[in-house]
Structure 1
Amino acid sequence: MKSMFMVFLFLFAGLTTGQDNGAIKLPEPDTKGGVPLMTALKNRASNRNFDTLSLSVQQVSNLLWAAYGINRPESGKRTAPSAMNWREYTIYLFNKNGVYIYDAQSHTLKKILEGDYRSYCGVQDFVSVAPLNLVYVSDFSKLSRIEDEEMKTMFTSADCGFIAQNVYLYCASEGLAVVVRGMIERDKLHSLLKLKPEQKIILSQTVGYPKK
């Protein structure tokens, strides 16, 4: 029994920390779990009180897939709608180990920075305590067929709202704490991520276990 337990720990550790050129291949999302939709909607709420306990790698996989994963492989379309199929968003994940980009095509996290930069994701104290922060970055260079900047902002803001709501519903289903935030030092974060001028930080979202 002890040897089997040690094998499990080894495999779990390898899954959560094993990297190839800074990339972490996530397990397949569990699309059969969760509570009924109406129950998730009933439980959906913002919570700013977070425990420091980390999420499991399966929870991270499910969370990112729910947020912006590919649910129709034949077309590459996502769990969140996108105006004119722009697919203009990149999700950055911040945890205590580093900063990652979520690659939906390979369902992989690609590390771009080593170290704890969670405090860059917002000005509230809980941002650096919670285990995980998501930052939603829109690439305005992909917003084709529309010239009016105000219209572009409206459409891409709606797209971000769909992603954030997917995260809310997953967290409601999983019993996790979550809050979406607009209070971000965007210039500081833009510089950290080395974003291009046409890449704009829209919102951030903090996820973790609720504090007991």
Structure 2
Amino acid sequence: MTELERIAYEPTPLLPPAPASGESHEFIALPRPRLDAGAPLMTALAHRKSTRVYADVPMTLDTLGALLWAANGVNRPDTGGHTAPSAHGFHEIDIYVALPQGVYRYDPALHHLVLRHLADARNMTGYQDFVGKAPLDLVYVLRGSQVLGTPPQQRELFAAIAAGAICQNVSLYCASEGFATVVRGWINQRLLADALRLNEDEVPLLAQTVGRPALN
């Protein structure tokens, strides 16, 4: 059997969150996405890949609005349905957005960002050296209180499926719009939970870096 090639990483020490930079607001209203934008689905699938080198270009509000709506926004207002599936409609995964100006939580119902921590916690979202330099790191957080009525094994399975669907939505959006992204499972859950100011029943599961690809 051929041994699978593993990507070698040099772990970067986790430093405390840096001071926030730029304008920070308690709430950030996000623009609605243009539903006619981007490449067709099959083209996006053909271009989907993981990238770990990013240009130093900040995220615009238009991009953030479209990206987060694609990730897990409300696409059926009449029923409250989301772009990502969720078993029994639990919607137990929250998206935390680590930006230079602070840590925010995405509110799909209102399509806006809510400030959770006035710090730049990007470098806390993983051990790879690029995570603190890319313009945006997303963290997918399980809100345990949403799934208390289900057996523990189902909670883990349902949460993993939901987080995976959100990751793929983000990856396809990035491929469609020419952005770079990579999904990351190498995180320190305890330190990251502190950096995001999570409650005891909230657990970070995955992180995903997004940005413009670096020019060669």
Which category of TM-score, normalised to the shorter sequence, fits these structures? 0.7 to 0.9
Cα distance in 2, alignment partners of residues 182 and 32 from structure 1: 32
State the shift of 1:150 in Å: 2.1
Task: Please identify which structure carries the higher helix content.
Answer: 1
Over the matched positions of the two proteins, sequence identity in percent amounts to: 42
Contact 2:96 2:139 in 1 (8 A): yes
Cα distance in 1, alignment partners of residues 61 and 119 from structure 2: 18
SS of 2:142 mapped into structure 1: strand
Cα distance in 2, alignment partners of residues 150 and 195 from structure 1: 22
1:22-37 to structure 2, matched below 5 A, reads 22-37=26-41
**Structure 2 regions of 5+ residues with no counterpart?**
1-21
State the shift of 1:78 in Å: 0.3
State the shift of 1:77 in Å: 1.0
Q: Does 1:152 align with 2:155?
A: yes
**Match of 1:85?**
89
Q: Does 1:163 align with 2:166?
A: yes
State the shift of 1:62 in Å: 0.3
**Match of 2:147?**
143
Of 42, 62, 68 in structure 2, the residue corresponding to residue 58 of structure 1 is: 62
State the shift of 1:145 in Å: 4.3
Counterpart residue identity of residue 112, structure 2: T
Output the TM-score relative to the length of structure 1.
0.87
Of 155, 172, 175 in structure 1, the residue corresponding to residue 175 of structure 2 is: 172
Counterpart residue identity of residue 166, structure 1: N
**Superposed CA offset, 1:68-118 (max 9, x none):** 100000111100000110011111001111111111111111112223211
RMSD of aligned alpha carbons: 1.5
Contact 1:91 1:136 in 2 (8 A): yes
User: Structure 1 stretches (4+) deviating beyond 6 angstroms?
Assistant: none
Output the TM-score relative to the length of structure 2.
0.86
**Structure 1 regions of 5+ residues with no counterpart?**
1-15
